[in-house]
Structure 1
Amino acid sequence: MMHQKILSGTLTALTDRDAHLRLDGLTKRYGDTDAVAALNLNVPKGELVALLGPSGCGKTTTLRMIAGLITPSGGRIVVGGSDITRMPVYKRDMGLVFQSYALFPHMTVAKNVAFGLEMRGVPKPEIERRVTEALAMVRLESLAGRKPRELSGGQQQRVALARALVIRPSILLLDEPLSNLDAKLRDEMRNEIRDIQQKLGITAVFVTHDQVEALSMCDKVVVMKGGKLEQVGTPVDVYERPETPFVASFVGRTNRLEGAARGDGTVSVGGATLRVPGRPNGPVEIMMRPHRVRLADVDASPAGEGTNRLDGRLTRVTFVGDLLQYHVDVNGAELIVEAASDHGRFFRAVGTPVTLSWRIEDTMVFRRAA
Structure 2
Amino acid sequence: MMHQTIRSGSPTLSDDRDAHLRLDGLTKRYGDSVAVAALDLAVPKGELVALLGPSGCGKTTTLRMVAGLIKPTDGRIVVASQDITQVPTYRRDMGLVFQSYALFPHMTVAKNVAFGLEMRSLPKPEIERRVKEALAMVRLEALAERKPRELSGGQQQRVALARALVIRPSILLLDEPLSNLDAKLRDEMRNEIRDIQQSLGITAVFVTHDQVEALSMCDKVVVMRGGKLEQMGTPVEVYEHPATPFVASFVGRTNRLEGIAQGDGRVAIGSMAVQVPGRPGGKVEIMIRPHRMKLVDVGSGEDAASEGVNRLAGSLTRVTFVGDLLQYHVDVDGTEIVVEAASDHGRGFRKVGAPVAVLWRVEDTMVFGRGA
Instruction: Calculate the TM-score normalised by the size of structure 2.
Output: 0.95
Q: Secondary structure at the match of 2:17?
A: helix
> SS at the partner of 2:168?
coil
* Residue of structure 1 equivalent to 2:37: 37
Deviation readout 1:168-202 (Å, 9 max, x if unpaired): 00000000000000000000000000000000000
Deviation at 1:264, TM superposition (A): 1.6
Partner of 1:326: 328
Q: Which residue of 2 aligns with 1:9?
A: none
* Cα distance, 1:215–1:369 mapped onto 2, change above 3 Å: closer
What count of residue pairs does the alignment treat as equivalent?
358
Aligned twin of 1:60: 60
Shift of 1:124: 0.6
Report if the CA contact (8 A) 1:319-1:325 is conserved: yes
Give 1:23 shift: 0.1
Q: Give, as a single letter, the amino acid of the residue that structure 1 aligns with 2:198.
A: Q
Residue equivalent to 2:261: 261
How far apart are 1:271 and its partner, in Å? 1.0
Partner of 2:4: none
Q: Which amino acid aligns with 1:324?
A: L
Distance 2:318 2:170 in 1: 52
1:273: Cα distance to partner? 1.2
The residue correspondences of 1:170-189 to structure 2 (distance < 5 A) are 170-189=170-189
**Change in 2 beyond 3 A, CA 1:346/1:140:** same
Structure 1 counterpart of 2:340: 338
Going from structure 1 to structure 2, the CA distance change for 1:146 and 1:322 (only over 3 Å counts) comes to same
Residue ranges of structure 2 left out of the alignment (5+ in a row): 1-12
In structure 2, relative to structure 1, the CA distance for the partners of 1:171 and 1:369 (3 Å cut) is closer
TM-score, reference length from structure 1: 0.95
Q: Distance in 2 between matches of 1:369 and 1:235?
A: 24
Q: Percent identity?
A: 82
CA-to-partner distance for each residue in 1:266-313, whole Å, 9 max, x for gaps? Answer: 111111111101111000001000011100011123233211000000
For 2:15 and 2:348, the matched residues in 1 are separated by: 54
- Name 2:221's counterpart in structure 1: 221
**What is the root-mean-square deviation of aligned Cα atoms in Å?**
1.2
Is the CA contact 2:18–2:81 (under 8 Å) kept in the aligned structure 1?
no
More strand by share: 1
Q: Which of the pair has the greater relative contact order for Cα pairs under 8 Å at 6+ separation?
A: 2
CA distance in structure 1 between the partners assigned to 2:318 and 2:59 by the alignment: 36
Equivalences for 1:1-370 in 2 at 5 Å? 15-300=15-300, 301=302, 302-369=304-371
> Does the 8 Å contact 2:97/2:161 carry over to 1?
yes
1:221 Cα shift?
Answer: 0.1
- Displacement of 1:227 after TM fit? 0.1
CA deviations on 1:102-159 (whole Å, 9 max, x unpaired) are: 0000000000000000001111111000000000000000100100000000000000
Query: What is the Cα deviation at residue 345 of structure 1?
Result: 2.4
Mapped to 2, the partners of 1:264 and 1:234 lie a distance apart of 32
Return the alpha-carbon distance in structure 2 between the equivalents of residues 244 and 359 of structure 1: 21
Amino acid at match of 1:44: P
- The residue type equivalent to 2:315 in the other structure is R
The superposition leaves residues 60-96 of structure 1 with CA deviations (integer Å, 9 ceiling, x where unpaired) of 0000000000000000000000000011000000000
Alignment check: 8 A CA contact 1:283 1:369 kept: no
SS in 2 for 1:71: coil
What is the Cα deviation at residue 369 of structure 1? 4.2
Within 2, Cα distance between the matches of 1:369 and 1:160?
43
Q: 1:351 to 1:15 in 2, by over 3 A?
A: closer
Residue 83 of structure 1 aligns with an amino acid whose one-letter code is D
8 Å CA contact 1:29–1:35 kept in 2: the answer is: yes
Superposed displacement of residue 347, structure 1: 3.3
Question: Which runs of no fewer than 5 residues in structure 1 stay unpaired?
Answer: 1-12
